């Protein structure tokens, strides 16, 4: 099996983008829970993301959500982030919290409402210009609740027209990233329920339109790594939203539900060329992002735990002896191939990663270092008054 020293250089530069909303209050459909020390402003959310990066070295950027992260001066926010060692990343749109969008936004039958949703995305693109962001990520909570309620084909046609208008507004170095979710909040049908629908829509737009794969947005038993392989094969995997789910909802800490699934996904990412430097700028086209909400756990250590889980499973996936695996596959040796795969997954890389961090001036155990730093107690004492950030 490949040893850790061999794969260690491939861990350099791993970047996992954090979501600003992970540092605000969240909860369920029934209750959003408050917690001491929760960020009250966009700046405090950026500062929290910078803290995660300071302890892990893995999270150099933070995604913003519009309108949750509206500010008057995004150039100033960009400088604020850079002064703290991080940059502003993906810009996420929101067409699911406005009364006008009850029956759809980009798919609505009313041209005025569709244009309102398109204009919101134009605003997001303006923000991208000020922040230096590459990706505009779109998730649509659109669909219908009853058979016969909506013209399913008509909604797809209107979605294409709306996305085309948004795509045409992008700058040359910007991308449109279309997410999918097989259900929620609509009950009968969802307009972008699966990777195939997302692929069909972005393929019709052009090279700078790609798919976002949220690891929690699939039916139970779905072979997500197969989807990863296929989208990489087609050149249309733009980004991940890493999280976990158990029964239905998602947004839990990545790797919490099924670490082996995360390992399998990352193996296909590496095998398909979606990890590591792939472009002249030294970065892969595939963005690693988190999409999580910490309902009952503290925000900053929750994100530290998440990025460490991704790093650990990346290391294990890199340990797969690809030559031995290929030889066993080509020989038709089913058990030998499986053994090669499982040997890598079963390898405990925690001590090696701890030493790797120390060599780079990072805490060997970032979770423990954060707990002992007193930072959580400090922000709980400092952030008194004001309105804590949250979904609304």
pLDDT score, position 371: 98
List, in order of start, the domains of the chain with CATH numbers.
Answer: 11-318+349-382 (3.20.20.150)
Q: What is the pTM of this model?
A: 0.96
Using an 8 Å Cβ cutoff, are 26 and 391 in contact?
yes
> How high is the pLDDT of residue 250?
81
State CA 55 to chain mean position distance.
20
> What are φ and ψ of residue 20, in 5° steps?
-60, -35
Cβ neighbours of residue 208 closer than 8 Å, sequence gap 6 or more: 167, 170, 174, 175, 176
For residue 65, is it left (φ>0), alpha (ψ between -120 and 50) or beta?
beta
pLDDT score for 283: 47
Instruction: Answer whether 60's CB lies under 8 Å from 16's CB.
Output: no
Q: Print pLDDT tens along the chain (392 aa).
A: 689 999 999 999 899 999 999 999 988 778 888 899 999 999 999 999 999 999 999 999 999 999 999 999 999 999 999 999 999 999 999 999 999 999 999 999 999 999 999 999 999 999 999 999 999 999 999 999 999 999 999 999 999 999 999 999 999 999 999 999 999 899 999 999 999 999 999 999 999 999 999 999 999 999 999 999 999 999 999 999 999 999 887 899 999 999 999 999 999 999 999 998 654 444 468 999 999 989 889 999 999 999 999 999 999 999 999 999 999 999 999 999 999 999 999 999 999 999 999 999 999 999 999 999 999 999 999 999 988 888 76
Residue 336 to residue 8: CA distance in whole angstroms: 25
- Axis crossing angle, helix 111-131 with helix 74-83, rounded to the nearest 10: 40
Enter the tokens of residue 299.
């925000």
123 Cβ partners below 8 Å, 6+ apart?
A: 66
Burial class (CB in 10 A: 0-12, 13-18, 19+), 29: exposed
Cα 51 to chain center, whole Å?
19
CA distance 114 to 141: 14
* Cβ–Cβ under 8 Å, residues 236 and 199: yes
């Amino acid at each position: 099996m490949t040893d850790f020293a061999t794969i260690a250089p491939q861990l350099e530069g791993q970047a996992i983008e954090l979501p600003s909303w992970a540092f605000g209050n969240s909860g369920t459909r029934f209750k959003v829970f408050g917690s001491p020390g929760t960020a009250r402003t966009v700046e405090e959310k950026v500062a929290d993301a910078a803290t995660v990066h300071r302890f892990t070295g893995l999270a150099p950027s933070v995604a913003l959500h519009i309108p949750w992260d509206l500010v008057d001066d995004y150039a100033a926010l960009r400088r604020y982030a850079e002064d703290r060692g991080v940059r502003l990343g993906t810009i996420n749109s929101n067409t699911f919290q406005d009364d006008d969008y009850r029956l759809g936004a980009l798919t609505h039958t009313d041209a005025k409402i569709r244009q309102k949703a398109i204009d919101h995305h134009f605003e997001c693109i303006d923000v991208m210009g000020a922040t230096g962001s590459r990706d505009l990520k779109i998730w649509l909570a659109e669909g219908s609740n009853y058979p016969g309620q909506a013209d399913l084909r008509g909604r797809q046609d209107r979605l294409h027209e709306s996305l085309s208008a948004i795509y045409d507004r992008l700058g040359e170095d910007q991308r449109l990233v279309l997410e999918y979710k097989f259900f929620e909040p609509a009950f009968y049908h969802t307009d972008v329920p699966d990777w195939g629908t997302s692929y069909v829509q972005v393929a019709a737009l052009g090279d700078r339109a790609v798919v976002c794969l949220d690891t929690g947005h699939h039916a139970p038993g779905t072979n997500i790594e197969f989807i990863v392989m296929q989208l990489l094969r087609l050149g249309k995997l733009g980004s991940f939203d890493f999280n976990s789910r158990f029964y239905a909802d998602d947004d839990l800490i990545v790797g919490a539900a099924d670490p082996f699934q995360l390992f399998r996904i990352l193996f296909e990412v590496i095998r398909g060329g979606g990890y590591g430097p792939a472009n002249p700028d030294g970065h892969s086209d595939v963005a690693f992002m988190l999409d999580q909400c910490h309902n009952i756990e503290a925000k900053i250590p929750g994100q530290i735990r998440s990025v460490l889980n991704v790093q650990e499973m990346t290391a294990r996936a890199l340990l797969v002896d690809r030559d031995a695996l290929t030889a066993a596959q080509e020989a038709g040796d089913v058990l030998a191939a499986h053994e090669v795969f499982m040997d890598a997954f079963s390898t405990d890389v925690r001590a090696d990663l701890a030493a790797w961090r120390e060599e780079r001036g990072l805490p060997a155990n970032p979770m423990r270092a954060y707990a002992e730093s007193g930072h959580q107690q400090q922000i709980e004492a400092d952030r008194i008054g004001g309105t804590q950030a949250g979904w609304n």
